Every structure is written in C-alpha cells, then in structure tokens.
C-alpha cells in the first residue's frame, strides 16, 4: 500500500532530484532512476495543486454558480 505524501514533502523530494541531476555527477542509470522519481513527485505535486484549486473554486462559488473573483493584491 502506497503512503500518500504531503505536497511539501513531494516538492522537497522533487527539488532534491533536480539538484542531484544538475550536479552531473550521476551515472546514466542513476540519473534515470532519479529522473523517474522526480516525475513521480512532480505528478504528486500537480495533483495536490489541482485539488486545492478545486476547493478554492468551491469556496468562491456564488449561489448562482458563477465564481466570485478576488483581487488579493488590492486587499493589502
């Protein structure tokens, strides 16, 4: 059974994979393994962000079904 990772943990692991790949010190086989793990972490982050986006849209949805726009920059 796979354990669901938090967005922050997946992002941290993705950043670590990028750092490892950028060093250029890995063998081709190691690079492929790290890249594959990075793709998995990126997909996990994407799914988490999509879920949050849907929740925000639901919170902003008005009674008539339209979305209420919020300009957060002007509220500072």
Name, in order, each residue with C-beta under 8 angstroms of 62's C-beta and a sequence gap of 6 or more.
68
Q: Which residues of 12-42 are buried (b: 16+ CB within 10 A; e: fewer)?
A: ebbeebeebeeeeeeeeeebeebeeebeebb
Report pLDDT for 1.
39
Predicted structure pTM score: 0.72
Domain boundaries, the chain: 9-60
Contact 20, 26 (CB under 8 A): yes
Report pLDDT for 58.
84
Give mean pLDDT, residues 36-56: 95
pLDDT tens, 1-28?
Answer: 345 679 999 999 999 999 999 999 999 9
């Amino acid at each position: 059974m796979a354990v669901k990772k938090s967005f922050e943990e997946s992002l941290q692991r993705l950043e670590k994979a990028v750092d490892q790949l950028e060093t250029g010190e890995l063998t081709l086989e190691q690079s492929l393994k790290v890249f594959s793990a990075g793709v998995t972490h990126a997909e996990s982050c994407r799914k988490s962000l999509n879920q949050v986006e849907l929740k925000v849209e639901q919170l902003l949805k008005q009674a008539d079904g339209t979305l209420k726009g919020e300009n957060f920059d002007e509220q500072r």
